[in-house]
Amino acid sequence: MTVDVGALSGRSVLIIGGLGFIGANLAGRLVGLGANVLLVDSMNPLYGGNMYNIAGIAARVKVNISDVRDRHSLPHLLRGQEFIFNLAGQTSHMDSMLDPFTDMEINATAQLALLEACREHAVDAKIVFASTRQIYGRPQYLPVDEKHPIKPVDVNGINKTAGEFYHILYGEVYGLRTTVLRLTNTYGPRMRIKDARQTFLGVWFRKVIEGEPFEVWGGEQKRDYSYVDDVVEALLLAAVDPGCDAMTFNVGGHEVLSLAETADIIRAAWPGARYVVRDYPAERKAIDIGDYYSDYSLLRERTGWQPRVSFRDGVARTLAFYAETLKHYV
Amino acid sequence: MTVDVGALSGRSVLIIGGLGFIGANLAGRLVGLGANVLLVDSMNPLYGGNMYNIAGIAARVKVNISDVRDRHSLPHLLRGQEFIFNLAGQTSHMDSMLDPFTDMEINATAQLALLEACREHAVDAKIVFASTRQIYGRPQYLPVDEKHPIKPVDVNGINKTAGEFYHILYGEVYGLRTTVLRLTNTYGPRMRIKDARQTFLGVWFRKVIEGEPFEVWGGEQKRDYSYVDDVVEALLLAAVDPGCDAMTFNVGGHEVLSLAETADIIRAAWPGARYVVRDYPAERKAIDIGDYYSDYSLLRERTGWQPRVSFRDGVARTLAFYAETLKHYV
């Protein structure tokens, strides 16, 4: 493949959700590539925004604190941007059931407003949208490829479906250059570990560093996990490869693991780490999707992307990060 | 099949969008069955609501003029209802592109609000939601069954997707009894004929009655058409058959016709009717779906439903209706 993310050097890049987990890691990489980076983030305390996430690069990026639901801010933030990484989202499945309207405002309505604003103010920008495997619902077959039926099992999955469909539609009808990446469980340094709003792994990592046992619910369920550096690479490739325009891709993990295997790898990665097994909570069963893992061969074939970081290595790096920085994340 | 729509006698029935085309025809049938019918309609002049639609039954129904986006009205309107036909919607594909936020408010946000209100105030009601074949986008195969991928080609299709997914989700998670019917082009007495917001057929019928030629765009494109009485029957069966709970069904037409064949049947049905053929307008091509017709075998197998009215007969009845009532519809 000939795509080279070095092409982002000197380019104007907007990251919406840029102080969050994936956004801040992406920002660090883009700064290294020599891009001019603007980070927009709501700093909503329920989401991933954290000023400490850009501690090492704060002098080399611009920051604008604003909510993606604020339509008046958009023209000012979009003008002149060549690449837009659209990562802002409400990610908690449980929160989407308890407060479905907020999830809709952020994951659907605001996405439509952003695309309308792009039509007017950033018509030539490349837009990469972070979607989720949640839109597939309970897998009808494994691994799940992009042709799998879309049948979300929670409000979050429905609103993310609308959000990504708008992106593809605005590409087809108005010629915006959009790519959708459907992410699976993403983990790594700078993830939210206060609670389970960015996967259960965040809470597990926190417990390990705090010297407490983490809770494994059930244990049989299979998942794949993307280390954040691999996701950042996928975002960059999707941005610079024109062959990704108007396409929707799964991003997948390095390996498939049961929750018990996941827990054992984490236990082995840190001295004193331990866990307890609990029954799967009843109130979560209704929106649980069972086993899930991605078929990411379409993205691999198109861009050469594949996950590089094993779960064992990714966990070690993540725990080492939080051992140093815990106070900024709890 | 043992389902009997006579079971609706004496029952409390709410029709949202009840002064519109399908809603008012359904109301007439329900009054005949002895149901206690409440019609809710916004009377938004861009949509289907028309007081003349209930001219024959006005004394036997209750009417409440309110917008489905008005959340405060919902508890009062929902309490005590046993059956809810949720037919309110923005139906124009072009309008959804020109004003995507209004389409979203009505077809997605308001649907979520309605379901939230049902959880609290009408938890035992049976809810039938009118969705659309538009959610399938350009057919990947024909006839289109319910397993066909969902890939809308306009904002309306995306928002209707969200609206119907919410209905199924609230059934699965909260136990609401919901059924989704995906309608194709529906026509018949009481449809909007002022403009093409309820299919192009409305405008064609108006032109015929006014003695003007109607315009056929292209002519090759294939469609199926549902006569409104057949759609009403499908709605009633979906409501009374518990086997339809939590299910999504296509509703299809009696036959498959090209636009040219469609035009010829209409021309033959009315003295002096004539048409001209025009190229398909460029601005509509981007959101055009090409050929479409439904596979409705799932609904037929479940309930015994099938289209009874041929296009020829339906057109004759429709034109006879507008010959008498034109002034109330233009």
Q: What is the pLDDT of residues A145-167, one digit of tens each?
A: 999 999 999 999 999 999 999 99
B161 within 8 A of A165, measured Cβ to Cβ = yes
Please name every residue paired with B84 in a beta bridge, in sequence order, or none if there are none: B14, B127
CA atoms of B181 and A162, how far apart (whole Å): 20
Res. B32: pLDDT tops 90: yes
Query: How distant, in Å, are the alpha carbons of A225, B89, B278, B329 from that of B198?
Result: 47, 11, 20, 13
| Average pLDDT value for residue range A239-244 | 96
pLDDT at A2: 60
pLDDT at A190: 97
| Average pLDDT value for residue range B314-324 | 98
Rg, C-alpha atoms of chain A? 19
Between strands B126-132 and B83-86, the pairing is parallel
- Which of B69, B101, B158 best tests the A interface by mutation, with the highest count of A CBs <10 A? B158
pLDDT at A69: 87
Share above pLDDT 90 across residues of chain A, in percent, rounded to a whole number: 89
Q: Which two tokens stand for residue B319?
A: 């034109």
Do the Cβ atoms of A112 and B104 come within 8 Å?
A: yes
CA atoms of B127 and B110, how far apart (whole Å): 15
DSSP reduced 3-state for B56: coil
Q: Which residues contact A59 (CB under 8 A, 6 or more apart)?
A: none
Do the Cβ atoms of B108 and A112 come within 8 Å?
A: no
CA distance B240 to chain A (A): 25
| Structural domain includes residue A148 | yes
Residue in A112, A149, A173 nearest the CB of B287 = A173
pLDDT in tens, A88-124: 999 888 999 999 999 999 999 999 999 999 999 999 9
Query: How distant, in Å, are the alpha carbons of B185, B256, B307 from that of B316?
Result: 17, 18, 16
CA atoms of B55 and B53, how far apart (whole Å): 6
Phi/psi-derived region of residue A80, left when phi > 0, alpha when psi is between -120 and 50, beta in every other case: left
Do the Cβ atoms of A113 and B101 come within 8 Å?
A: yes
Domain that holds residue A74: 5-190+225-254+293-309
| Structural domain includes residue B154 | yes
CA atoms of B99 and B105, how far apart (whole Å): 10
Q: Which of B241, B224, B123 has its CA nearest to residue B182?
A: B224
Share above pLDDT 70 across residues of chain A, in percent, rounded to a whole number: 99
| Structural domain includes residue A46 | yes
| Structural domain includes residue A159 | yes
Res. B181: pLDDT tops 70: yes
DSSP reduced 3-state for A29: helix
Res. A260: pLDDT tops 70: yes
Q: Work out the end-to-end distance of chain B between its first and last CA atoms, rounded to an integer number of angstroms.
A: 42
pLDDT-derived band at B139 (thresholds 50, 70, 90) equals: very high
Amino acid sitting at position B249: F
Average pLDDT, chain A: 95
Q: If 0-12 CB within 10 Å is exposed, 13-18 middle and 19+ buried, where does residue B147 land? A: exposed
Tokens 């339906």 belong to B314
Res. A284: pLDDT tops 80: no
pLDDT at B241: 96
- H-state helical runs in chain A: 21-33, 74-78, 93-98, 100-104, 110-121, 155-174, 200-210, 228-240, 259-269, 282-285, 297-303, 311-325
| Structural domain includes residue A176 | yes
| Structural domain includes residue A57 | yes
Q: What is the DSSP letter of B171?
A: H
| Structural domain includes residue B196 | no
Res. B1: pLDDT tops 60: no
pLDDT at B58: 96
Residue in A173, A286, A287 nearest the CB of B286 = A173
pLDDT-derived band at B2 (thresholds 50, 70, 90) equals: low
Regarding an ipTM greater than 0.90, the answer is no
Residues of A with CB under 8 A from a CB of B: 97, 100-101, 104, 108-109, 112-113, 116, 147, 149-155, 158-159, 161-162, 165-166, 169, 172-173, 286-287
Query: How distant, in Å, are the alpha carbons of A36, A216, A242, B44 from that of A15?
Result: 11, 34, 19, 40
Q: Which of A10, A182, A173, A34 has its CA nearest to residue A82?
A: A10
CATH number (domain holding residue A133): 3.40.50.720
pLDDT-derived band at B45 (thresholds 50, 70, 90) equals: confident
Residues of B with CB under 8 A from a CB of A: 97, 100-101, 104, 108-109, 112-113, 116, 147, 149-155, 158-159, 161-162, 165-166, 169, 172-173, 286-287
Q: List the single residue in A with minimal CA-CA distance to B175.
A: A286
pLDDT at B288: 80
Res. A1: pLDDT tops 60: no
pLDDT at B71: 85
Between strands A247-250 and A275-278, the pairing is unpaired
Residue in B158, B172, B287 nearest the CB of A166 = B158
Q: List the single residue in B with minimal CA-CA distance to A147.
A: B149
Q: If 0-12 CB within 10 Å is exposed, 13-18 middle and 19+ buried, where does residue B326 land? A: middle
Q: Which residues contact B211 (CB under 8 A, 6 or more apart)?
A: B272
pLDDT-derived band at A250 (thresholds 50, 70, 90) equals: very high
Residue in B101, B113, B169 nearest the CB of A112 = B101
B266 within 8 A of B57, measured Cβ to Cβ = no
pLDDT in tens, B79-127: 999 999 999 999 888 999 999 999 999 999 999 999 999 999 999 999 9
Do the Cβ atoms of A100 and B112 come within 8 Å?
A: yes
| Structural domain includes residue A32 | yes
Do the Cβ atoms of A166 and B153 come within 8 Å?
A: no
What residues of A are in contact with residue B153 (Cβ under 8 Å)?
169, 172-173
CA atoms of A303 and B177, how far apart (whole Å): 45
Q: If 0-12 CB within 10 Å is exposed, 13-18 middle and 19+ buried, where does residue A327 land? A: exposed
Q: Which two tokens stand for residue A97?
A: 């059931």
What residues of A are in contact with residue B113 (Cβ under 8 Å)?
101
pLDDT at B198: 82
B260 within 8 A of B176, measured Cβ to Cβ = no
pLDDT-derived band at B199 (thresholds 50, 70, 90) equals: confident
pLDDT in tens, A305-318: 999 999 999 999 99
Amino acid sitting at position A208: V
pLDDT at A70: 87
Q: Compute the C-alpha angle A324/A235/A288, nearest 5°.
A: 75
- Which of A114, A119, A165 best tests the B interface by mutation, with the highest count of B CBs <10 A? A165
Domains identified in chain B, total number: 1
| Average pLDDT value for residue range A286-303 | 92
